[in-house]
Amino acid sequence: MPRKRKTSSIYLDHASTTPVRPEVLEAMLPYFSETFGNASSIHKFGQKAKKALEDAREIVAECIGAEAKEIYFMSGGTESDNLAIKGIVHAHKNKGRHLITSNIEHHAVLDCCKYLEDGAYEVTYLPVDRFGVIDLQAIEKAMQPETVLISVMLANNETGTLQPISDIAKITRQRGVPLHTDAVQAIGKIPVDVDELGVDLLSISGHKIYGPKGIGALYVRRGTKFDPLLHGGHQERQKRPSTESVASIVGLAKAMELAREEMQTSSRRLADLRDRLERRIQERIPHTYLNGHPENRLPNILNMSFGFVEGESLLLTLDMQGIAVSTGSACTSGATEPSHVLRAMGVAAAVMQGSLRFSLGRDNTEEEIDSAVESLTEIVQRLRQMSPLYAEKMGR
C-alpha cells in the first residue's frame, strides 16, 4: 500500500540552491530602500553604496585569501565561469587557441567550451577515473605550447568529488598557463584559499551558500590579463560593466563570511548526516552503489544509484511525499539525458539511470534523514515490484 502523503517537507537539494539566511536578508534590506544610491554617483547617496560595495569586496577577498582588487562581482556562477574562460582565451588569442578542461565540469564551463570550439578554438576534455577524479598525467600529456587556459572544477556538483587542484597548479605554473577553478559547490563547505590552491581564477556563486540568487564573483589573480564579456561602463574596473547590485553583493559577502565562520562545525555536522544517510541506505536497500569518491568529497553531497529503478520515478515519488532530491545537476533536470558526469566515470547505463543526488544543508536533522530513508526504502521496494528485470534477477 502506498504511504500516506506527508504534510511536512524535507529539503535534500541544497546543491541546487539554498534559502537566504535571515542574517543575510537583514544585511541586504537597507540597500533596497534607504541606501539605494548608485555606487558610481559622486554624491553622498552614491558614496554610501560605494562603501558597502567595497566593504563587501574586502570580505569576499578575505574569505578566499585574495586581495580586494582581485574580486569582480557579477550575476552568478555561470557568468563567472564564462568570463574566466572567454575572457582569458580572448586576451591570449595571439599566444594560442587551445584550452583544457574536464569531462565532468558543470554546463557553465562545458557549454562555454563547446561554443569556443565552434569559433576556432581547440578544447581537450580530460577523462576521469571511476571515482570521478582527473588523472594528472593526462594534463601533462594534453598541454601544448598553444594552451592558454586550464579549467578544472574544485568540487563536482553531482557527486561532490574533489579534484587535486593544487597538484594541477604545480603543472600549470611551470608552464605559465593560467588555471581556473569553478569553486561554486566548494565554497563554504571546505577551506578555499587561492594561494594554497595555486589558482589564477576562481568562480563563486551566492545562492549555494544561503546568499541571494543572481549574484556571484570571479577572482582573478593580479597581473592575469583577461578581456571583459560586456562593454558599456567603467564598473568593476571595466571588466564587468553595469550598475552594481549592491544589495545582492552585500548578501553574498555576508553569506560567505557566515559560512567561513561556521565551516568547521557545520561541515562536520553535514558529513555526519551524510554518512548516516549513506549507511542507512546501504543497510536497508540492497543493490545500491555510491557514485563518486568515498573519501575525497564534499561533506554535504551523496550520490547513489539504486539498481532496477529509474531515478526520475524515484524523484517524483519522493516529491509526492514532500522529499526534495535531485537526479543530477538542477540545470539538467527535466531533460531525460543521462548524467554526463556519471557517464564520464564509466558508470553502467542501467546503474546510471537509477541515480539520485542528496545534498544536505544546515537545517537538516537526523530525524529527517531517517524519515527520508524510510520513504526511500518503501518506494524503491514498490518500484522494483514493477520491474521485469528485478523479477528476473530474483528468479521470479
Residue 63 is among the residues annotated as catalytic for this protein: no
76 binds ligand PLP per the rule CB under 6 A: yes
Sign (positive or negative) of CA dihedral 173, 97, 182, 25 = positive
Our finding on whether 78 is near ligand PLP (CB under 6 A) is yes
Q: Exposed/middle/buried for 69, CB within 10 Å: 0-12, 13-18, 19+?
A: exposed
Q: Is 249 in the site for ligand PLP (CB under 6 A)?
A: no
Radius of gyration of the chain (CA): 22
- For the CB of residue 123, give the shortest distance to ligand PLP in the complex, in Å: 18
Residue showing cell 556563486: 205
User: Cα 221 from chain centroid?
Assistant: 21
Residue 102 near ligand PLP by CB under 6 A? no
Among 108, 133, 134, 380, binds ligand PLP (CB under 6 A): 108
Closer residue to ligand PLP in complex, CB, 82/364: 82
- The rounded Cα 236 to chain-centroid distance in angstroms is 24
* Residue 172 makes contact with ligand PLP by CB under 6 A: no
Q: What is the distance between the alpha carbons of residues 15 and 361, in angstroms, rounded to a whole number?
A: 9
Which listed range, 180-188, 303-311, 354-362, 370-378, lies at the site for ligand PLP (CB under 6 A)? Answer: 180-188
Which own/partner contact pairs does 309-315 have at CB distance under 8 Å and 24+ positions apart? 309/354, 309/380, 309/383, 309/384, 309/387, 310/353, 310/354, 310/383, 311/353, 311/354, 311/355, 311/356, 312/336, 313/383, 314/354, 314/356, 314/376, 314/379, 314/380, 314/383, 315/356
CB 340 to ligand PLP: min, Å: 13
Q: Which residue's CB is nearer to ligand PLP, number 143 or number 302?
A: 302
Please say whether the beta carbons of 116 and 123 come within 8 A: yes
Number of residues that bind ligand PLP (CB under 6 A): 17
Nearer to ligand PLP by Cβ, of 81 and 257: the residue is 81
Nearer to ligand PLP, 143 or 215 (CB): 215
Q: How many whole angstroms separate alpha carbon 224 and alpha carbon 172?
A: 14
Can you tell me which of 66, 184, 249, 352 binds ligand PLP, judged by CB under 6 A? Answer: 184
Using CB under 6 A as the binding rule, whether residue 182 contacts ligand PLP is answered as yes
Does residue 361 bind ligand PLP (CB under 6 A)? no
Query: What would the x/- binding string for ligand PLP be over residues 130 to 169, using CB under 6 A?
Result: -----------------------x---x------------
Rule CB under 6 A: which of 198-227 touch ligand PLP? 205, 207, 216
Question: Among residues 54, 49, 55, 50, which one has the least CA distance to residue 35?
Answer: 49
Question: Binding to ligand PLP by residue 330, rule CB under 6 A?
Answer: yes
CA 60, CA 74: separation in Å to the nearest integer?
A: 13
Strands 216-220 and 288-291, bridge-based pairing: unpaired
Q: Which residue is closest to ligand PLP by CB?
A: 77
CB of 2 to ligand PLP, least distance (A): 32
The helix (run of H) or strand (run of E) holding residue 90 is helix 77-91
Q: Which is nearer to ligand PLP, 344 or 379 (CB)?
A: 344
How far apart CA 241 and CA 220 sit, in angstroms, is 16
Q: Active-site residues: which are they?
A: 331
The site for ligand PLP (CB under 6 A) is made up of: 76-78, 81, 106, 108, 153, 157, 182, 184-185, 205, 207, 216, 329-331
